[in-house]
Amino acid sequence: MTEIRRVAMVSLHTSPLDQPGTGDAGGMNVYVVEVARRLAARGIEVDIFTRATSSILDPVMPLCDGVQVTNVHAGPFEGLTKEQLPGQLCVFAREVLRAEAAQPLGHYDVVHSHYWLSGQVGALARDRWGVPLVHSMHTMAKVKNEALAEGDTPEPAERLIGEEQVVEAADVLIANTDLEAKQLINLYDAEAGRVEVVHPGVDATVFRPQDQAAARASLGIPADAHVLLFAGRIQPLKAPDVLLHATAELLRRRPEVRSRLVVPIVGGPSGSGLERPTALANLADELGITDVVRFVPPVPQDELAAWYAAATLVAVPSYNESFGLVAVEAQASGAPVVAAAVGGLTTVVRDGRSGLLVPTHDAVDWARALESVVMDPAHRDRLAAGALEQARLFSWDATAAQTLGVYERAGSLMREAVAG
């Protein structure tokens, strides 16, 4: 059994120090931070390597006791899109190897890379350091390309090839759900024996039931409002436009709710959404619902928790989610979730018990689902109780404990491969 003392995490394209909800920062950022913190609480040192995006950042910054972030200089600090980052892989990898070379021999016991770009660097580090590589995909190009939102840009062949290389190189792949594990095996030819399912978690000290009236008062929302909340990055994949179309349809069906309806969109443009940063606001105007829609910039977790507490329901209409942290956080806050029946959301949300799963992205279907919650308070209360029960299945402490077990197993697999 491999004793894990130090972990090198690689998160090249987005820093754990960034505010989730804008740019490329999202659920993966939360995942990296929470797992690193929980590992550190178990006495394991974690170094997170990410690309520096500002000249004012210190080369090494503490995240918490036992966790530090190394800001690697690779390319210009600003102006690089995720699609341009492959050109900086060599420089980034060189600097990661250089940082390790300054440490005593055998400094790290495992490399854990996040997203395919980091996996390319992780594979090189694994070979140079003689330690196992554990990789988390977080999203997969082949899955995304199978369910593109209208007007979204397909992932390029460069990423497809890169992901295949990382899948082949990794000693163990961590999947968020059983469905993701099957996708790795069926779409990427991953060996079933090298895929482990570890669910992400939720911080129940932050996302917990709160007094709804107090939460609404703090956010300037009327106490009797019907609050249909979207939280996340504004891009076609996350499909906030589906919620806006459904809202317009709901108002067509139930015009009497207009005076009480509030639809907050909490988040910032990201991905291909950066190409048309005003598109969602323009859509709200075209649909004639600007009076009920509120656009709110990304907020810290404690404020996000207040938005969940204030919500009548939380909508997650994504075209795909490897897991769906927003859905777990909302449920832990006692908010029912209306989600698309895709990807990890089918694991996170228990249809009819903690929320509703909508099998399409059609506005009429979504309006019916929203209406069933808004117009039936008893139904909403039953779902809210089920949401709390469902959220108890997910814990970052459990995620970290299982991840540590994966690290140990990866070390055993690597030794067996060398011996064989």
- Measured CA to CA, the distance from residue 300 to residue 66 in angstroms comes to 23
Residue 58 assigned to a binding site: no
Grouping H, G, I as helix, E, B as strand and the rest as coil, residue 179 is helix
Q: Is 400 annotated as a binding residue?
A: no
Find out whether 94 is annotated in a ligand binding site.
Answer: no
The end-to-end CA distance of the chain, in Å, is 17
Helices (H), 102-156: 116-129, 141-146
How far is residue 216's CA from residue 225's CA, in Å, rounded to a whole number? 9
Which residues are paired to 114 by β-bridges?
Answer: 136
Place of tokens 């894990």: 4
CA separation for the pair 88, 78 (Å, rounded): 13
Ranges of H-type helices in 288-362: 301-310, 325-332, 345-348
Q: How far is CA 196 from CA 104, 174, 180, 398, 410, in A?
A: 31, 5, 10, 14, 10
Q: Who's near 412: CB < 8 A, 6+ residues apart?
A: 1, 2
Specify whether the CB–CB gap between 314 and 231 falls below 8 A.
Answer: yes
Question: What's the one-letter identity of residue 108?
Answer: Y
Residue 115 is assigned to a ligand binding site:
yes
299 labeled part of a ligand binding site: yes
DSSP state of 156: P
State yes or no: 350 annotated in a binding site.
no
233 annotated to bind ligand: yes
Is 341 annotated among the ligand-binding residues? no
397 is in an annotated binding site: no
271 CB-side CA count, 13 A: 18
Annotated ligand binding at 176? The verdict is no
137 annotated to bind ligand: no
406 touches 197 (CB < 8 A):
no
To the nearest 10°, report the CA torsion of 404, 410, 415, 418.
Answer: -160
* 67 close to 17: Cβ distance less than 8 angstroms: no
Tell me how many helices (H) and strands (E) the chain has.
Answer: 15, 14
Q: Any binding-site annotation on 141?
A: no
Is 27 annotated among the ligand-binding residues?
yes
Contact status, residue 40 vs residue 65, Cβ threshold 8 Å? yes
Q: Is 415 annotated to bind ligand?
A: no
Find out whether 311 is annotated in a ligand binding site: yes
Ligand-binding site membership of 308 (annotated): yes
267 marked as part of a ligand binding site: no
DSSP, collapsed to helix, strand or coil, labels residue 230 as strand
Question: Was 68 annotated as part of a binding site?
Answer: no
Based on the number of CB atoms within 10 Å of its own CB, is 169 exposed (0-12), middle (13-18) or buried (19 or more)?
A: middle
Specify binding-site residues: 13, 19-20, 24-29, 82, 115, 139, 159, 233, 238, 299, 308, 311, 321, 329
Specify binding-site residues for Mg(2+): 308, 311
Specify binding-site residues for UDP-N-acetyl-alpha-D-glucosamine: 19-20, 27, 233, 238, 299, 321, 329
Specify binding-site residues for 1D-myo-inositol 3-phosphate: 13, 24-29, 82, 115, 139, 159
